Amino acid sequence: MAYNLLKGKKGLIFGALNEQSIAWKVAERAVEEGAEIVLTNTAVSIRMGTIGRLAEKCNTIVVPADATSVEDLENLIDKTMEHFGGKFDFMLHSIGMSPNVRKGRTYDDLDYDYLSKTLDISAISFHKAIQVARRKDAINDWGSIVALSYIAAQRTLYGYNDMADAKALLESIARSFGYIYGREKHVRINTVSQSPTPTTAGSGVLGLGDLMEFAENMSPLGNASAEDCADYVLTLFSDLTRKVTMQNLYHDGGFSSMGMSRRAMKTYEKGLRFDDVHQNQYPFGDGEK
């Protein structure tokens, strides 16, 4: 059901790859709620994914851009403003990738060049996008910027690896830039800490299936889906949340406030056998019994 929450608003959405993407769901729902959008992703992701189909459905354009490149971002913001005929109202950052995760490097055996890329792609790109938008005065007063995060920014979840560091940095950027942009232009900046979600980006995380099962059992409301997340993000783009900024907002069915549930205990007990714990904690067999 549509409520015209975003009627007359315009926005830029980073990171839609395919129908599994949260950014894809946000784009669809934003248009349903009356918004006009511009889509962007890297040239490689555009070729690999199906974002062209989304653009056709949403009657919009796709502007290729590497979010780690300031030059690309400047061109992206210019093209977006040209398409809209002026400023826009909201921006979604849904970008995350870890070469260390992709290469199977554990947190105690990181490649530091890979770590730099993880931080640049997954977090510093957020800072760059905001900085470029601010310098070009691209976002209307009382606009909204949202980035997608995860609870591993605050808690240790084995297998999430250096992406946890990236998410912690992402949330810090939202707070620091939220103060500056809010004070100057009333632009609000928030992060949404989403349930583990079966997206292409998340598929490389070690033990994602088990993590999703555990979170589902732990959360009173169960895991929030990509569609659920899109609905929540739309409220942050809308005028209903004009005084919400610099927040990390949990959208996880209650998982972040739980200690242990009866259902989750059954999942937890499966991992109490020593051999399982040893194998998972020391994948290269170098632990001591």
CA distance 220 to 215: 10
Known binding residue 10? Answer is no
CA dist., res. 184 & res. 261, Å (int): 45
Is 167 assigned to a binding site?
A: yes
Residue corresponding to tokens 């490097």: 105
- List all residues 6 or more positions away from 67 whose beta carbon is below 8 Å from its beta carbon: 14, 40, 42, 73, 93, 95, 121, 125, 128, 129
Say whether 95 counts as a known binding-site residue: yes
Q: Which amino acid is at 46?
A: I
Query: Out of 3, 158, 160, 250, which one is annotated catalytic?
Result: 160
The one-letter amino acid code at 222 reads G
Q: Which residues have a Cβ under 8 Å from the Cβ of 135 and sit 6 or more positions away?
A: none
CA–CA separation, 73 vs 126, rounded Å? 11
The one-letter amino acid code at 127 reads H
Is there a binding annotation on residue 13? no
257 annotated as belonging to a binding site for a ligand: no
CA-to-CA distance for 283 and 172, rounded, in angstroms? 32
Q: Which helix (H) or strand (E) holds 12?
A: strand 10-14
Q: Per-residue DSSP letters for 63-106?
A: EE--TT-HHHHHHHHHHHHHHHTS-EEEEEE-----HHHHTT--
Verify whether residue 160 is a known catalytic residue: yes
Could you say which of 114, 150, 232, 268 is catalytic?
A: 150
Distance between CA 38 and CA 79 in Å, rounded?
9
Binding-site entries: 15, 21-22, 95, 167
Binding-site entries for NAD(+): 15, 21-22, 95, 167
Q: Mind telling me the catalytic residues? A: 150, 160
